[in-house]
């Protein structure tokens, strides 16, 4: 059955390509001059959520480049810690990063080696799976984005674990873990407890004093955890951060100026650009506050914040859905809420805009949509 479906997809794709090549109106033929770009630098300090590449092949190229830059940074840091002289660190003599960077871009822009249309034809049946009906809906595209995001996240977690697992036993102890340099220089993470023992212990689901790969991944990315201890820790951190009068709980004023905005932005999925006044939002804020304040004491505890913690710390699925919604809004020509293979072929750079920049055409850049 799978082979029959693949044959049908390939046949349809070939017919579409033939029609497009014969068509006198080629509205997108002038887009090929735009150059696909690979990111030239990577920010290892978390500042905002970036969209993941749509194409796994592109994602793999970026992961390799990111690994090289991370290794270089790590080697330089380790060398600095071990030596006080200014000799070059081992392996620094030959640095082919720029050459590799240019080779990657040349590869992506060589139509014989990397043809965007062919890639979309190949990827379409991998996304159109539930159901395999010749259309890609929001759920299917969200699931696809999630797969790419999870692969990226786990790759970075494994890389971090190899660094911190000093005795190479497959686990990370609190003594082995050292916070990133930026944490020490920024009170945002360190003073709040993000890198302290309470966070570590909450991530330790089985309570053995060590973090395995899954637990370490939760430690680094608590918003995606299913561990109840870590979810409660996130709630405690929210109380700690918002509790301006230091009474150990959140009153309405502290809730309204900060937490409620995050909840509202989550519910709007970032698409509402209006900024209502405090007066218009007071009533809905008080309504939500009352729903959360189960004991009716006029304050919110860490436990009472649990129902909205997923909105205060959006998961990867939230961002995957945002990215799916944006892509569909840009490529869904007939506005039926789903994508056909033809619509994807006619709007190729919507899917590759995460790696595409063109100062003259902002329509194909969606980095800012997900910040």
**Per-residue pLDDT tens digits for 299-353:** 999 999 999 999 999 999 999 999 999 999 999 999 999 999 999 999 988 898 6
Predicted pLDDT of residue 107: 84
pLDDT at 258 over 60: yes
- Is residue 123 pLDDT above 90, yes or no? yes
Helix-helix angle 56-82:138-164, to 10 degrees: 20
CA distance 345 to 342: 5
* 256's tokens: 């309204």
What pLDDT was estimated at residue 82?
A: 47
CB distance 322 to 270 below 8 Å: yes
Contact status, residue 240 vs residue 192, Cβ threshold 8 Å: yes
Residue 277, pLDDT score: 61
Q: What is the mean pLDDT of residues 363-370?
A: 35
Residue 113: pLDDT band by 50, 70, 90 thresholds? confident
What pLDDT score does 146 carry? 97
**How many residues in the chain?**
371
Q: Please compute the mean of the pLDDT values over residues 141-170 and round it to a whole number.
A: 95
**Are 302 and 252 a contacting pair, CB within 8 Å?**
no
User: Is the pLDDT reported for residue 159 higher than 70?
Assistant: yes
pLDDT of 268:
80
Give the pLDDT mean for 280-300. Answer: 96
pLDDT digits (tens, 9 = 90+) for 75-109: 665 545 545 444 444 444 344 444 555 577 788 88
pTM strictly above 0.85: no
pLDDT 10s digits, 181-238:
655 555 544 454 566 889 999 999 999 999 999 999 999 999 999 999 999 999 999 9
Q: Grade residue 180 by pLDDT with cuts at 50, 70 and 90.
A: low
CB 328 within 8 A of CB 337: yes
What is the crossing angle of helices 56-82 and 97-108, to 10°?
A: 170
pLDDT number for residue 77: 57
> DSSP letter string over 180-238?
-HHHHT-HHHHTTTTTSHHHHHHH-TT-SSEE-HHHHHHHH-GGG---HHHHHHHHHHH
Pairwise pLDDT comparison (249 vs 183), residue with the higher score: 249
Would you state the pLDDT for residue 17? 59
Residues ≥6 apart with Cβ < 8 Å to 272: 265
Please answer whether residues 111 and 348 qualify as being in contact, where contact means their C-beta atoms are separated by less than 8 angstroms.
no
């Amino acid at each position: 059955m799978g082979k029959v479906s693949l044959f049908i997809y390939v046949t349809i794709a070939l017919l579409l390509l033939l029609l497009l090549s014969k068509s006198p109106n080629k509205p997108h033929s002038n887009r090929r001059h735009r150059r696909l770009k690979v990111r030239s630098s990577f920010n290892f300090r978390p500042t905002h959520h970036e969209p993941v590449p749509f194409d796994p092949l592109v994602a793999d190229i970026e992961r390799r480049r990111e690994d090289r830059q991370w290794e270089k940074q790590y080697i330089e840091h380790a060398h600095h810690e071990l030596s006080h002289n200014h000799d070059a660190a081992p392996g620094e003599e030959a640095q082919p990063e720029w050459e590799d960077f240019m080779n990657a871009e040349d590869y992506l822009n060589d139509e014989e080696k990397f043809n965007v249309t062919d890639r979309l034809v190949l990827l379409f049946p991998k996304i159109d799976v539930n159901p395999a009906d010749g259309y890609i809906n929001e759920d299917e595209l969200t699931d696809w984005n999630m797969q790419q995001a999870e692969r990226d996240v786990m790759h970075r977690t494994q890389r971090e674990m190899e660094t911190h697992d000093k005795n190479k036993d497959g686990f990370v102890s609190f003594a082995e873990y050292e916070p990133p340099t930026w944490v020490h220089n920024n009170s945002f993470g360190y003073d709040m407890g993000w890198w302290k023992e309470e966070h570590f212990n909450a991530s330790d689901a089985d309570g053995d004093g060590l973090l395995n790969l899954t637990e370490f991944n939760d430690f680094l990315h608590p918003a995606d955890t299913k561990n109840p201890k870590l979810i409660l820790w996130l709630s405690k951190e929210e109380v700690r951060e918002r509790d301006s009068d230091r009474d150990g709980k959140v009153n309405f004023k502290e809730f309204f100026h900060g937490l409620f905005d995050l909840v509202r932005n989550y519910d709007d999925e970032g698409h509402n650009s209006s900024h209502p006044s405090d007066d218009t939002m007071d009533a809905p804020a008080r309504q939500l506050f009352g729903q959360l304040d189960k004991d009716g004491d006029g304050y919110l505890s860490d436990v009472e914040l649990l129902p909205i913690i997923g909105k205060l710390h959006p998961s990867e699925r939230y961002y995957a859905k945002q990215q799916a919604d944006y892509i569909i809004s840009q490529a869904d020509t007939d506005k039926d809420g789903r994508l056909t293979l033809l619509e994807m072929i006619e709007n190729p750079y919507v899917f590759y805009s995460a790696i595409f920049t063109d100062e003259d055409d902002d329509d194909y850049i969606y980095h800012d949509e997900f910040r």
